[in-house]
């Protein structure tokens, strides 16, 4: 009887430990989601977007005003995504494309972009707001720090049971020391100021520790951030 009681108590202890672990993960996810949503309501981004809309309106470019206002609406609607944490790659593509269209109005002399995601991958799912922070990082820390036209390219392909998404730019790039510091900052959960820690953390919390971000960069040639996610089609409610 004593052995049975001890076994039961041990089982209860394990269950409580698992529940505590689940609660910790859920709290970490909530914090990460809140931080990311707060980052999307960036006052500088809003001010600059509204300045561009005013400039277009004063120039009598009514069609461009409608397009930019629509893109801003799409950007924030997809950021909220009806409370869902997991969305389709199609919705993620639409969100990042609306962001790039907005930024291209302001940075028309230095920004071009290409999005090449095969149609057969668009129904797979991923944590929302995965690509946009990477594109924002490429623009502000890569493209703006180089001379001439900058190009951001977003691609996707299958690798076994996984999907690899890549955000590549031909911007300023990083030295080997800077790249090592970035990797350490992201993988060791330090604050890099580039919004990448949050994205990496969310992917690992949702998809597992085998997934997340990897980085390559070369000074004066550009950078590439690769996102590894599992093939999955289930949407969160």
Q: pLDDT class for 95, splitting at 50, 70, 90?
A: very high
Q: pLDDT class for 84, splitting at 50, 70, 90?
A: confident
CB-CB contact of 159 with 227 (8 Å): no
Q: What is the pLDDT of residues 197-222, one digit of tens each?
A: 889 989 998 999 999 999 999 999 99
Q: What is the pTM of this model?
A: 0.81
Q: Is the pLDDT of residue 189 over 70?
A: no
Q: pLDDT class for 8, splitting at 50, 70, 90?
A: very low
Q: Is the pLDDT of residue 129 over 80?
A: yes
**Side-chain half-sphere CA neighbours of 153 within 13 A:** 11
- CA atoms of 39 and 201, how far apart (whole Å): 15
Average pLDDT over residues 4-21: 54
- According to the CATH classification, is domain 2-230 in 3.60.15.10? no
Q: What is the pLDDT of residues 27-69, one digit of tens each?
A: 665 665 555 555 555 778 888 888 999 999 999 999 999 999 9
- CA atoms of 104 and 112, how far apart (whole Å): 7
What pLDDT is attached to residue 40?
54
What pLDDT is attached to residue 60?
94
Q: Is the pLDDT of residue 147 over 50?
A: yes
What pLDDT is attached to residue 185?
86
What pLDDT is attached to residue 31?
61
User: Which residue did the predictor score with more confidence, 88 or 79?
Assistant: 88
Mean pLDDT for the chain overall: 85
What pLDDT is attached to residue 119?
96
Q: pLDDT class for 237, splitting at 50, 70, 90?
A: very low
What pLDDT is attached to residue 79?
79
Average pLDDT over residues 223-235: 91
Q: Is the pLDDT of residue 86 over 60?
A: yes
> CA 164, 116, 228: angle at the middle one, nearest 5?
10
Average pLDDT over residues 131-158: 94
What pLDDT is attached to residue 228?
98
């Amino acid at each position: 009887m004593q052995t049975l009681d001890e076994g039961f108590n041990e089982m209860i202890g394990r269950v409580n430990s698992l529940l505590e672990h689940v609660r910790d993960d859920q709290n970490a996810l909530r914090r990460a989601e809140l931080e990311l949503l707060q980052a999307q309501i960036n006052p500088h981004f809003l001010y600059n977007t509204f300045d561009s809309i005013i400039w277009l309106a004063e120039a009598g470019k009514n069609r461009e005003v409608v397009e930019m206002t629509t893109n801003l609406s799409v950007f924030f609607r997809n950021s909220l995504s009806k409370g869902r944490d997991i969305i389709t790659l199609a919705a993620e593509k639409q969100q990042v494309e609306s962001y790039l269209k907005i930024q291209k109005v302001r940075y028309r002399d230095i920004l071009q972009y290409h999005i090449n995601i095969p149609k057969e991958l668009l129904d797979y799912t991923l944590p929302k707001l995965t690509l946009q922070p990477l594109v924002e990082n490429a623009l502000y820390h890569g493209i703006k720090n180089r001379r001439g036209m900058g190009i951001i390219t977003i691609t996707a392909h299958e690798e076994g049971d996984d999907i690899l998404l890549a955000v590549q730019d031909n911007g300023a790039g990083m030295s080997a020391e800077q790249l090592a510091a970035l990797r350490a900052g992201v993988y060791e959960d330090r604050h890099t100021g580039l919004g990448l820690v949050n994205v990496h953390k969310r992917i690992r919390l949702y998809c597992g520790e085998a997934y997340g971000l990897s980085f390559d960069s070369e000074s004066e040639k550009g950078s590439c951030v690769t996102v590894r996610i599992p093939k999955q089609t289930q949407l969160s409610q």
